[in-house]
Structure formats: C-alpha cells, structure tokens
Amino acid sequence: MKIFLRNLFSKLLVISQRKKIVEILKEIQILRSNSNQMTDAKIVRLTTDEARERIDKLWWKLPNVSAQDMYDEGDSHWKWEELTKFYENKILHECVAILSQEDYLEGAMIYHFNAKSKLEQGKGSVYVERVASAPHNRNWLVFQPFYKGVGTVLLYWAVIESYNAGLRGRVSLESLPTPSTVNFYKNKGFVRIDLTQPSDDLVDYELPESAALTWLKQEGDLP
C-alpha cells in the first residue's frame, strides 16, 4: 500500500511539474476526426523534456503500423528532443506543438525568424524547418485519425508569428511536391520559387505577403 501511494504521489508530482513547464502561446480549436467537431486545444512552446517524453517516446508506438510504413513516412527517425535542445531559449527560433484536451501533442513545428524572403529581395520571412502532425493523425497510417488538419493549424500559426514579427505573414519552406501538398500550397497561395528544382527532392515554396494577409482575413484574425 505504501509503495502504491508513493508511486501514485510521484506520478502526480511529475504530472504537476509537467503542467507547470508547459508555456501556452495561444488557445485554439482543432477538428476532432470522429465527430467532425471543433474542440479546444493549445499551441504550446515545445521544451526538450516534452519533446522527449511526448513525441520521441510516444508518437511511433502505433499498433498495426509496420516498420516499413514508419520508415516510408520520412520523419520516424527525427529526434525532436535534440532538435528542440538546439533552439531552446533563442528568440529567433521557435519550437511549438499542439496540445490537445487528451493531453497529447498532436503535431509539432520548428521555425526561424532570421530568414530572407526568397521572393522579395531585402525582406524577411519566417522559415519553417519542420512540421509534422502526430502519426496517429495521419489517415494513411491509421484507420481513424484523432484530429484532422493539425498541419494546417501549425502552418497558420507560422503565418501569425510572421505577421506579428513585422514580416507581413511571409512564410517559406521546403517540401516534397506530392499531389496533395501541391494542392494545399496552391490553395493557400504558396508560390513555388524555382520551377527548375527537381520534383523528386525538396523544393522551395513561399507564402507571399498578399496570400498571407488573405489567409489572416479568411480566418477572421484581420479585419
């Protein structure tokens, strides 16, 4: 009994300590997949501890997903703990995640404020180095994803951050031009920078100011 209580106490202590260190950046809503209802969530700053405990140790523990399927995803080897450690406590770099009501991290992103715009000379941009929705939110990996559109929410957060940093919402990134991502980028107004880049590798995209402002207005964040 004593051991049980001690274990319970230490678990509660860990949970309370973990809650304390979560820095909430914004209250948001995300789309729950099974009910198609919006539900409350938070954008939080991702610490190395959270990255290790809630991403590296948890994300790829999926039932019924083969090692080959994981490998094919391209990010199963990413070590978020190491990535976040490098950028922690730096102002020009951010690591964020979406924390759901279920206390899971549903997606994560690393981005930088010190990038040059590739479209407009002399202007700055936010560069998104990595975005990943949690594997349990990828409908091609699991039968019933928990949440839909986590990547969209993260990219929109990058636009907000760019806008608030006086970079007019410009966001640049490098991505494989798969049919679904190309459709998404086109729909949001991302521009492919260099059409001569081979399409079997990462290619450069940038969301120009005009498209960023349109997106902010569509979401009702700008009048």
Partner 1 sequence: MENKDIFDGLIGGRKLSKKYIREDISELKGSELQSELDRKIARLMILHPELVRFRNNSLSGLDELTKKALLEDMYDVLGVTPLRNE
Residue from 7, 29, 34, 183 in contact with partner 1 (CB under 8 A)? 183
Stretch that binds partner 1, among 13-21, 35-43, 52-60, 137-145 (CB under 8 A): 137-145
What's the closest the beta carbon of residue 104 comes to partner 1, in angstroms?
15
Interaction between residue 75 and partner 1 (CB under 8 A): yes
Q: Mention every residue, 6+ apart, whose C-beta is less than 8 A from residue 152.
A: 184
How many residues line the site for partner 1 (CB under 8 A)? 58
Residue from 101, 114, 199, 210 in contact with partner 1 (CB under 8 A)? 114
**DSSP per-residue letters across 83-106:** HHHHHTT-TTEEEEEEEETTS-EE
Interaction between residue 49 and partner 1 (CB under 8 A): no
What's the closest the beta carbon of residue 115 comes to partner 1, in angstroms?
6
Task: Find how far residue 39's CA is from the centre of its chain.
Answer: 17
Burial (CB count <10 Å: 0-12, 13-18, 19+), residue 52: middle
Interaction between residue 26 and partner 1 (CB under 8 A): yes
What's the closest the beta carbon of residue 57 comes to partner 1, in angstroms?
19
Taking the C-alpha atoms of residue 25 and residue 122, their distance in angstroms, rounded to an integer, is 29
**DSSP per-residue letters across 17-53:** HHHHH-EEEEEEEEEETTTTEEEEEEEEEPPHHHIII
Residue from 90, 101, 199, 210 in contact with partner 1 (CB under 8 A)? 90
Residue from 121, 144, 180, 196 in contact with partner 1 (CB under 8 A)? 180
Interaction between residue 139 and partner 1 (CB under 8 A): yes
Contact between 167 and 113 (Cβ < 8 Å): yes
Stretch that binds partner 1, among 6-14, 57-65, 68-76, 97-105 (CB under 8 A): 68-76
C-alpha distances (whole Å) from 7 to each of 15, 50, 100, 103, 132 are 12, 21, 26, 21, 34
For residues 166 and 198, which CB has a smaller minimum distance to partner 1 in the complex?
166
C-alpha distances (whole Å) from 86 to each of 29, 62, 75, 94, 174 are 29, 28, 18, 10, 20
What are the residues binding partner 1 (CB under 8 A)?
A: 23, 25-27, 73-75, 78, 90-92, 112-116, 118, 124, 127-133, 137-139, 145, 148-152, 155, 160, 163-167, 172-175, 178, 180-181, 183-184, 186-187, 202, 216, 220-223
